């Protein structure tokens, strides 16, 4: 496969990058472009070359399929190609549409001219993977768009529409209509003998450089805690100002290689690949058919139902939302409107968009109005008998082939499926609260769920801009089953001597978006209490979370009751440590005869995170999760796990599984409570003994 094609239009050679889907700069493409360049240079009848992308854009940069393979570094590398283009005796014109990102933009920056269509997205997004543009981007872009604009683009990684850069030296022409025709006409006017200036030769004059870079460091440093790349981006751009070009290039390369080796970038690249891997379901091919989703319905307009309805409206899919009582329906619709109006106040939506989205949501009390939906998502109370009642009704009214989904967090999907006459159409779509915000969507595959149903909800997750992760059926699925272990450790540490604020701050300092107790107060302590009470009946031998139960017995359900593990001033979300809670904990320690000890932050973090890892290993071995990176994605997208640590399983790999198992043995020996808890999962023990890792 050549990945690019060569043709001639008069005296202009046209090299078309053709490596679907985004013209990633893989080895075959680089080789073919180099060959095209040589062919054009050898042809006396060619006076200029146009580089253009086939399909949706110019190029989105490196070919991610090549990551971690020898091909990534094989000659010709992008660096060699860029040098060859700069050295070309005939002018090379990059003709840009769609996207020019990362290495794709760096390739274009080395050309002698760039012409562009309106609406093309221009970006150097490497920082999002914990890197910086390593092939001249930090040295060339400031010479064309100015130091400040270039720095903003490189530090944020954000895309800028081409027309916004139209007045800069980045583009020689903003074209309309047929890009190829326009670019060939532009190229046809150039002659090899005409004087040409390479971007590298453009001087940078920036008298305020010292002050500006210091200001940038002051702003970016604190905002990028845990991430080294943004500050390094600033140093690389500064080198463009302070150093001769070649020296700047070398400096950029050095920083790039340092970042490539950083654990943060490795974690971010893992997260990036994890999201792509998650949509590949073993046993299902790209050809597995999907069912069209033109209309949706949601049953229940509570916290989750109203958020889920918003997800559909945001994606432009009409959705009907059903309740049993008018009052509940009105309340749900009012919540949705309030949310949209809040976004409009923050200027994230226009008033017209608010109305457009509200217009896509139809409230109803009648099942007849949902019968024609292509998918219906049940989000009523977490009570099996209520859910079975709803599914009975859905089974009666829904058109054949409709997907019947449940948002249950803990109940047995297979039981729900079996209660219908169409278990093959039943699937779990487990959204996270707030559903319109959180990116994670667990797709729960029942024992009878048909392949095309699973493929359809996976495709739907993308339309709803969610990270879809397949989970098998078990109590709590992937995320909440692991969370249960994490919270159990957090609460156990209170018995041993820690306080909620200490546990929270240790984990937040480590990088979790929110410590476990603040998170519980936000989600509502009654939710876990309700589930615990069921567990106490089902598994009477289970160790009870007495402190957590007592907090609930006092009616301290969290933010919604202005008191939980902390207290809250009305209308505010700041968690204030509460002596009542400290007394309650102290009294319980006395009751069970525990002398409190001081726990280090390190112990707190290790016990909570390794509790996740051990349960994750069980989930993996049982086949509940398809791969370790899916578990990581669940935690990154749904639980505020720090991206720079790559997810719990990836983090365990970086610590080394042998070390993880040793820590677990230490916890089992020293900590009171449940020694079984720290028995390493068989998979974990095996991998650790063999010196292997999860990912």
Ligand X SMILES: NC(=O)c1ccc[n+]([C@@H]2O[C@H](COP(=O)([O-])OP(=O)(O)OC[C@H]3O[C@@H](n4cnc5c(N)ncnc54)[C@H](O)[C@@H]3O)[C@@H](O)[C@H]2O)c1
Q: Alpha-carbon distance 638 to 443, whole Å? A: 13
Instruction: Considering the complex, state which of residue 304 and residue 469 has its C-beta at the smaller distance from ligand X.
Output: 304
Q: Name the burial class of residue 688, with classes exposed (0-12), middle (13-18) and buried (19+) by CB atoms within 10 angstroms of its CB.
A: buried
| Shortest distance in whole angstroms from residue 380 CB to ligand X | 4
- Of 129 and 322, CB closest to ligand X: 322
| Catalytically annotated residue among 75, 106, 356, 606 | 106
* Three-state DSSP class for residue 495: helix
Per-residue tokens: 70: 């020898």
Contacts of 303 (CB under 8 A, 6+ apart): 433, 434
Percentages helix, strand, coil for the chain, rounded to the nearest 5?
Answer: 55, 10, 35
Please identify, using beta-carbon distances, which residue of 514 and 605 lies nearer to ligand X: 514
CB of residue 379 vs ligand X: minimum separation in angstroms? 4
Helix axes 229-242, 245-261, angle to 10 degrees: 170
Name the DSSP letter for residue 603: H
* Alpha helices by DSSP H, 164-278: 179-188, 209-223, 229-242, 245-261, 263-278
Neighbours of 283 (CB within 10 A): 8
Q: What are phi and psi of 114, to 5 degrees?
A: -130, 130
Residue whose token pair is 């390794």: 610
126 is catalytic: yes
- Least Cβ distance, residue 451 to ligand X (angstroms): 25
- The nearest distance, CB 308 to ligand X, in angstroms, is 9
Q: Region of 35 please: left (phi>0), alpha (psi -120 to 50) or beta.
A: alpha
**Nearest-angstrom CA–CA distance, 495 and 212:** 52
Residue in the structure block whose two tokens are 């249950």? 408
DSSP 8-state class, residue 226: T
Which residue is closest to ligand X by CB? 302
Q: Smallest gap, in angstroms, from Cβ of residue 298 to ligand X?
A: 9
Quote the CA–CA distance of 290 and 286 in Å, as a whole number: 10
- Among residues 481, 487, 489, 484, the alpha carbon closest in space to that of 622 is found at 481
What does the binding site for ligand X look like in residue numbers (CB under 6 A)? Answer: 299-305, 322-324, 328, 379-382, 386, 389-390, 407-409, 431-433, 523
CB of 566 to ligand X, least distance (A): 19
Cα–Cα distance, 504 to 314 (Å, whole number): 34
Q: What is the dihedral sign for C-alpha 397, 402, 407, 408?
A: positive
CB of 565 to ligand X, least distance (A): 17
Q: Closer CB to ligand X, residue 183 or residue 309?
A: 309
- Contacts for 280 with CB less than 8 Å, ≥ 6 apart: none
- Gap between the Cα atoms of 331 and 635, Å rounded: 31
Minimum Å distance from CB 661 to ligand X? 32
Nearer to ligand X, 63 or 323 (CB): 323
| Closer CB to ligand X, 145 or 444, in the complex | 444
Q: What are phi and psi of 122, to 5 degrees?
A: -110, 125
Annotated active-site residue in 126, 495, 603, 606: 126
**Nearest distance from C-beta of residue 515 to ligand X, angstroms:** 18
User: Active site includes 106?
Assistant: yes
Helix, strand, or coil here: 150?
helix
Q: Which residues pair with 375 in a beta bridge?
A: 296, 403
- Three-state SS annotation for 406-467: ECCCCCCHHHHHHCCCCHHHEEEEEECCCCCCCCEEEEECCCCCCHHHHHHHHHHHHHCCCE
Question: What are the φ/ψ torsions at residue 559 (nearest 5 degrees)?
Answer: -55, -40
Q: Report, in Å, the least distance between residue 571 CB and ligand X.
A: 21
Q: What is the set of active-site residues?
A: 106, 126
């Amino acid at each position: 496969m050549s990945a690019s094609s060569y043709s001639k239009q008069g005296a202009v050679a046209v090299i078309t990058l053709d490596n679907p889907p985004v013209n990633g700069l893989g080895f075959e493409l680089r080789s073919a472009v180099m060959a095209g360049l040589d062919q054009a240079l050898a042809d006396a009848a060619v006076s200029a070359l146009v580089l253009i992308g086939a399909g949706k854009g110019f190029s989105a940069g490196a070919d991610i399929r090549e990551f971690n393979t020898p091909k990534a570094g094989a000659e010709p590398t992008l660096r060699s190609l860029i040098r060859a283009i700069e050295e070309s005796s005939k002018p090379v014109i990059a003709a840009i549409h769609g996207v020019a990102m990362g290495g794709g933009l760096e390739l274009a920056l080395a050309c002698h001219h760039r012409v562009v269509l309106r609406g093309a997205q221009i970006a150097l997004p490497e920082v999002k993977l914990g890197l910086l543009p390593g092939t001249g981007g930090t040295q060339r872009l400031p010479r064309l768009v100015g130091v400040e604009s270039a720095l903003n683009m490189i530090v944020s990684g954000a895309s800028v529409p081409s027309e916004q850069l139209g007045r800069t030296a980045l583009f020689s022409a903003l074209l309309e209509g047929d890009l190829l025709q326009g670019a060939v006409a532009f190229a046809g006017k150039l002659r090899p003998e005409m004087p040409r200036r390479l971007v590298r030769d453009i001087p940078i004059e920036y008298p305020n450089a010292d002050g500006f870079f210091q200001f940038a460091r002051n702003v970016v440093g604190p905002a990028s805690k845990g991430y080294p790349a943004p500050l390094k981006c600033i140093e690389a751009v500064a080198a463009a100002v302070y150093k001769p070009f070649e020296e700047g290039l070398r400096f950029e390369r050095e920083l790039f290689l340092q970042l490539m080796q950083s654990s943060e970038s490795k974690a971010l690249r893992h997260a990036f690949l994890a999201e792509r891997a998650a949509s590949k379901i073993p046993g299902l091919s790209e050809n597995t058919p999907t069912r069209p989703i033109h209309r949706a319905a949601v049953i229940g307009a509570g916290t989750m139902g109203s958020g889920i309805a918003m997800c559909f409206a945001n994606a432009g899919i009409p959705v009907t939302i059903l309740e049993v009582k008018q009052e509940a329906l009105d309340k749900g619709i009012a919540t949705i409107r309030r949310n949209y109006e809040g976004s409009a106040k923050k200027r994230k939506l226009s008033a017209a968009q608010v109305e457009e989205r509200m217009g896509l949501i139809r409230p109803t009390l009648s099942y007849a109005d949902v019968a024609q939906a292509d998918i219906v998502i049940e989000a009523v109370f977490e009570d099996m008998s209520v859910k079975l009642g709803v599914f009975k009704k859905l089974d009666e009214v829904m058109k054949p082939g409709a997907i019947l989904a449940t948002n249950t967090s803990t109940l047995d999907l297979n039981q729900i499926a079996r209660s219908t006459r169409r278990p093959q159409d039943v699937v779990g779509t487990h959204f996270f609260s707030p559903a319109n915000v959180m990116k994670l969507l667990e797709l729960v595959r029942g024992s009878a769920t048909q392949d095309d149903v699973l493929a359809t909800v996976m495709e739907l997750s993308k339309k709803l801009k969610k990270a879809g992760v397949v989970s098998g059926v078990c109590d709590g699925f992937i995320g909440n089953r692991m969370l249960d272990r994490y919270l159990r450790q957090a609460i156990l540490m209170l018995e041993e001597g820690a306080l909620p604020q200490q546990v929270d701050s240790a984990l937040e300092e480590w990088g979790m978006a929110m410590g476990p107790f603040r998170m519980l107060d936000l989600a509502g302590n009654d939710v876990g209490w309700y589930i615990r009470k069921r567990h106490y009946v089902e598994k009477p031998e289970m160790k009870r979370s007495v402190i957590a139960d007592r907090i609930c017995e006092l009616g301290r359900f969290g933010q919604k009751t202005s008191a939980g593990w902390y207290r809250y001033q009305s209308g505010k979300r700041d968690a204030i440590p509460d002596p009542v809670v400290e007394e309650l904990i102290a009294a319980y320690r006395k009751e069970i005869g525990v002398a409190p000890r001081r726990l280090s932050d390190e112990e707190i973090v290790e016990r909570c995170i390794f509790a996740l890892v051990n349960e994750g290993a069980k989930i993996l071995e049982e086949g509940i999760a398809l791969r370790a990176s899916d578990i990581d994605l669940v935690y990154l997208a749904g639980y505020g796990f720090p991206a720079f640590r790559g997810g719990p399983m990836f983090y365990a790999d970086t610590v080394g599984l042998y070390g993880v198992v040793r820590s677990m043995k230490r916890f089992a020996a020293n900590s009171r409570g449940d020694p079984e808890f720290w028995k390493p999962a068989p998979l974990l023990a095996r991998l650790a003994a063999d010196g292997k890792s999860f990912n």
